[in-house]
Structure 1
Amino acid sequence: MITRSAISTIALAAMATATAAQAAPTAPDAGEAQFRSIYKELVETNTTVSSGSCTLAAERMAAHLKAAGYADSQLTLFSTPEHPKDGGLVAVLPGTSKTAKPILLLAHLDVVEAKRADWERDPFTLIEEGGYFYGRGTADDKSMAAIWVDTMARLKAGKPLKRTVKMALTCGEETTWAFNGAQWLAQNKRDLIDAEFALNEGGGGDTDGKGLSEGGKLVNQSIQVGEKAVQNYRLETRNPGGHSSIPVPENAIYELADALARLRDHEFPTEMSDTTRAFFAKAGAARGDAMGKAMQALASNPIGSPAFAEAEKLVNTDRTYHSKLRTTCVATLLDGGHANNALPQRAGANVNCRIFPGHSVEEIQTALQKVVADPGVTVSLVPPQRPLAKAPALDPKIVGPMEKLSAQYFPAVPVVPDMSTGATDGIFLEAVGIPTYGVPGPWGNPDGNGVHGLNERIEVKSLLTGRAYLYDLVNAYAR
């Protein structure tokens, strides 16, 4: 899952100079009760990889759309024999235009594991308390999945659309190593999900630390435009070993440790894209401090210039901004040796890389080999291998409606284009030529609202306002 922690620091700093506003109030509509029912059923359907079923969740969402008038031919439930519980759903609402390409609404059904003993509330029971919905997946990503199902039902009940609208609910975003439905669709059912562009998770708003129902304010909305690619590599050393009573300098663990120390001290080259330049320019302008000025200097000066180099020194002190400027690789797991009284015959480490768009996993593998600078240390790819990250264009035809609606729903709240340092399923669509954008709308607090952790939650007002915003956004593209 992609979080928005990458812009949380902006959210807090922007308070000093940006005029933040409450979200525009939205009147309840007749369909809100039905939406809440969809959302509740989805959250209360366990979709963890260990004991849940995305296939069941997809079937339940298909039943809602069939009740809304969708024909069987417009609903495609899919799974594979090897992964019968990791299924998904594609729904298609045809438009009247013969020339306008479809748009695709993407969300994932699977959730991160949640142990009841660790939670204050049952993670698979939707609980509304203190202005928040609690439960695993309430934010990531069943909020968006429920909004898309609700949107598709509402569109079906309305006037015919000019543009075809498609929806794909998939499994495996949290566990790509097991099975990823978005990747499977991209590789096996490309025509089914063909679209001019897709709307996905990864964007959204940040508060000043409190929900709007608690007296807090929105300080930004973001549009995710591109992301880094995630790839794991294994560094490994081997040695004949021997008895620990007669050690020798050629020790597998020491050799690996030396290699990891070189990796620790290595800085990948600074890079900028159209998205990150726009991010640093707009996010920097929202601040009134030295960091904000440095961010703007990055956006307005070429890499390598004295002004850029001076600004980068300060910007690099923020771990999130530092990551936005380059590929990063970090050791995350270690293993080595086979006995307390024996010299190690093998030592290994997992290195997790977040690759700046435009670089292949093989290119970074070669770079790591150069950093390690030791033929005794092998660097190998760890499956699965994700595709090359491709950032979509900051297309005014796509970004413009998001900004226009954001100004209506969230007056005076800046809209910031952002490249995620994490990962979403959008990378699989980008790989087959479907530009994918993380949408504004729903918001969260800078603490992450328990996403991937304990007591996951989303503010009720965030969910309902996001529902209204995203419905209007889809209409803006489709009519």
Structure 2
Amino acid sequence: MKARLLGIASALVLGLVGAQAQAQAQDTLPPDKAKFRALYKEMVETDTSITTGSCTALAGKIEKHMLANGFQQSELTQFSVPEHPKEGGIVAVFQGSSKTLKPMLLLGHIDVVVAKREDWTRDPYTLFEEDGYFYGRGTSDMKALAAIWVDMLERFRAEGYKPKRTIKLALTCGEETSWAFNGARWLTENRRDLIDAEFVLNEGGGGRTDGKGTVVAQNFHVGEKTVGNYRIEATNPGGHSSIPIRDNAIYELSDALMKLREFEFPVMLNDTTRAYFSRLGAGRTDEMGKAMLAVVANPQDKAAVAVLDKDRMYHSMLRTTCVATQLDGGHANNALPQRAGALVNCRIFPGVGYEEVRKTLEQVIADPRMTVVKVDDRGPIAVPPPLTKQILEPAEKLVAKYYPGVPLVPMMSTGGTDGIFFGAIGIPSYGPPGLYGDPDGNGAHGLNERAIVKAVYTGRDMLTELVKAYASPKGR
């Protein structure tokens, strides 16, 4: 009992110290950044996971926030469907002056991957600022950018900025799940009038540090992989566990997954990944830089590929990848399993179809007793957007200003985003530079997710200038 009381007292003290640190961090900020931080905090601390949270609740808070900061009700549209009342979103329109320039769209998802308190060091739905990082679910993926978009439009309204191009904002739900309501998809299929634009600025871009705080590259997200989920399943008549046989569904599934673990899809390059490895490799003199240039010259250079494969991100950029993410099997503790299955999540290289990947999985498993089935509809095959001078040049100038000496590199995202739905209807989607993270991914989708404090504030400033450059292009 005494130990338990001491533990509670210790937790209370740590909580008080943490709260004091939070207050001190905010007190040192200029008023505009303090206001942004408060918005960011509110967004992180609103649970928007599919199991215990509500995107609709956060969309309502955002609407209230924007109404309090100069927006009219007619400029804001909340949306949802009756079947998914907690998975709604919001669209805002900041009217431009030009009658010829098409609008631009700022896109972001406000849902997050589920986080369990017992697994985390801190409460995942409380924003903590410690040792130069913001901690909390969604701090990195992607409530920092969503907060930047909202804060940016509110500051534009407050300062009386008049863009030439109408700026639209869509904050949606469903990006982190494959079976729930996807707001971005719904908007493209049902309310194109709300989101129609010349191009989209979305997640997926940003920079990367060397793991020690130095930014080594800023990335421009130009295209992405397609997400595909497949179920591998073994079936068996089963029987009594007291008389086991080698013919066992769980063992068969295990054998299949071991084959999948050892299999590598073939190396592939496209215009974006060639540009990425060419630009990044040209600025490096180490083994990795030489391998980048070598693989561009010859994608079948096994030695160069082996070097690049040491980096998990580069490994994924070079090919389609498939990995087991969920398991199930058996029906009783005293019976041989009649069924065992695994969910395999694939990130498919642009231009490769769903069925081609499914057939490859069948060939790798090479067991006619097992089935491989695509289990959901994650949307259309990703369409790589063109990287035009209009899009690239403003970003190059601002990267040079905010990150002197750091290269801006076109990059194909290894993750999937809601940009695929816009590409499918002819609206190219890009992930701009500005923010940055560590090589380990900053815990996105995992434990103790974090964002670099300096990156959030610097990214906010740079992205504000970038959106203005796109919204009021010179000579147009």
Q: What is the TM-score when the length of structure 2 is the normalising length?
A: 0.85
Moved more, 247-256 or 443-452: 247-256
CA apart distance, 1:125: 3.4
- Tell me the secondary structure at the aligned position of residue 369 of structure 1: helix
Matched, 1:146 2:143: no
- Tell me the secondary structure at the aligned position of residue 192 of structure 2: coil
Alpha-carbon displacement from aligned partner over 1:265-299 (angstroms, at most 9, x marks no partner): 43322211111101111222232122311211222
- Tell me the secondary structure at the aligned position of residue 347 of structure 1: strand
- Structure 1 residues 447 and 255: alpha-carbon distance in aligned structure 2, compared to 1, 3 A threshold: closer
Matched, 1:322 2:324: no
- Structure 1 residues 94 and 417: alpha-carbon distance in aligned structure 2, compared to 1, 3 A threshold: same
Counterparts of 1:44 and 1:317 in 2: how far apart (Å)? 36
Aligned partner of 2:221 in structure 1 is 224
- Tell me the secondary structure at the aligned position of residue 334 of structure 1: strand
- Tell me the secondary structure at the aligned position of residue 230 of structure 1: strand
Aligned partner of 1:440 in structure 2 is 433
Matched AA of 1:360: G
Aligned partner of 1:192 in structure 2 is 194
Aligned partner of 1:164 in structure 2 is 166
Matched, 1:427 2:420: yes
Contact 1:359 1:389 in 2 (8 A): no
Matched AA of 2:353: S
Aligned partner of 1:281 in structure 2 is 278
- Tell me the secondary structure at the aligned position of residue 99 of structure 2: coil
Counterparts of 1:323 and 1:113 in 2: how far apart (Å)? 24
Moved more, 261-270 or 166-175: 261-270
Equivalent of 1:240 in 237, 261, 286: 237
Contact 1:231 1:386 in 2 (8 A): no
Counterparts of 2:450 and 2:303 in 1: how far apart (Å)? 41
Aligned partner of 1:413 in structure 2 is 406
Counterparts of 2:63 and 2:151 in 1: how far apart (Å)? 11
Counterparts of 2:445 and 2:33 in 1: how far apart (Å)? 27
CA apart distance, 1:258: 4.5
Equivalent of 1:266 in 263, 266, 270: 263
Counterparts of 1:413 and 1:163 in 2: how far apart (Å)? 29
CA apart distance, 1:223: 1.3
Matched AA of 2:179: W
Matched AA of 1:388: I
Counterparts of 2:31 and 2:259 in 1: how far apart (Å)? 61
Matched AA of 1:205: G
Alpha-carbon displacement from aligned partner over 1:299-346 (angstroms, at most 9, x marks no partner): 234x45xxx455334334444322211112233333334445544332
User: Structure 1 vs Structure 2: percent identity of aligned residues?
Assistant: 61
Contact 1:77 1:88 in 2 (8 A): yes
Counterparts of 1:259 and 1:272 in 2: how far apart (Å)? 28
- Structure 1 residues 51 and 239: alpha-carbon distance in aligned structure 2, compared to 1, 3 A threshold: closer
- Tell me the secondary structure at the aligned position of residue 448 of structure 1: coil
Contact 2:178 2:376 in 1 (8 A): no
Alpha-carbon displacement from aligned partner over 1:78-102 (angstroms, at most 9, x marks no partner): 1111111111110111222222111
- Tell me the secondary structure at the aligned position of residue 229 of structure 2: strand
Alpha-carbon displacement from aligned partner over 1:37-80 (angstroms, at most 9, x marks no partner): 32232223222222222112111212222233322222110111
> What value does the CA root-mean-square deviation take over the aligned residues?
2.6
- Structure 1 residues 190 and 454: alpha-carbon distance in aligned structure 2, compared to 1, 3 A threshold: same
Counterparts of 2:36 and 2:269 in 1: how far apart (Å)? 41
CA apart distance, 1:121: 4.1
- Tell me the secondary structure at the aligned position of residue 201 of structure 2: strand
Aligned partner of 2:54 in structure 1 is 53
Alpha-carbon displacement from aligned partner over 1:120-179 (angstroms, at most 9, x marks no partner): 444333344444333332222111111101111222343321111110111122223222
- Structure 1 residues 142 and 335: alpha-carbon distance in aligned structure 2, compared to 1, 3 A threshold: closer
Counterparts of 1:143 and 1:235 in 2: how far apart (Å)? 36
- Tell me the secondary structure at the aligned position of residue 420 of structure 2: helix
- Structure 1 residues 152 and 117: alpha-carbon distance in aligned structure 2, compared to 1, 3 A threshold: same
Matched, 1:297 2:286: no
Structure 1 unaligned residues grouped into runs of 5+? 1-26, 211-215
Contact 2:220 2:433 in 1 (8 A): yes
Aligned partner of 2:449 in structure 1 is 456
Aligned partner of 1:90 in structure 2 is 91
Contact 1:205 1:442 in 2 (8 A): yes
- Structure 1 residues 252 and 114: alpha-carbon distance in aligned structure 2, compared to 1, 3 A threshold: closer
Alpha-carbon displacement from aligned partner over 1:186-238 (angstroms, at most 9, x marks no partner): 2222221111111111111223334xxxxx42222111111111211111232
- Structure 1 residues 209 and 294: alpha-carbon distance in aligned structure 2, compared to 1, 3 A threshold: closer
Matched, 1:350 2:351: no
- Tell me the secondary structure at the aligned position of residue 364 of structure 1: helix
Matched AA of 2:218: Q
Matched AA of 1:229: T
Structure 2 unaligned residues grouped into runs of 5+? 1-27
Contact 2:292 2:308 in 1 (8 A): yes
Moved more, 148-157 or 242-251: 242-251
- Structure 1 residues 428 and 248: alpha-carbon distance in aligned structure 2, compared to 1, 3 A threshold: same
Moved more, 120-129 or 462-471: 120-129
Alpha-carbon displacement from aligned partner over 1:422-473 (angstroms, at most 9, x marks no partner): 2222222222222111121122233433433444333332222111101100
Contact 2:249 2:338 in 1 (8 A): yes
- Tell me the secondary structure at the aligned position of residue 467 of structure 2: helix
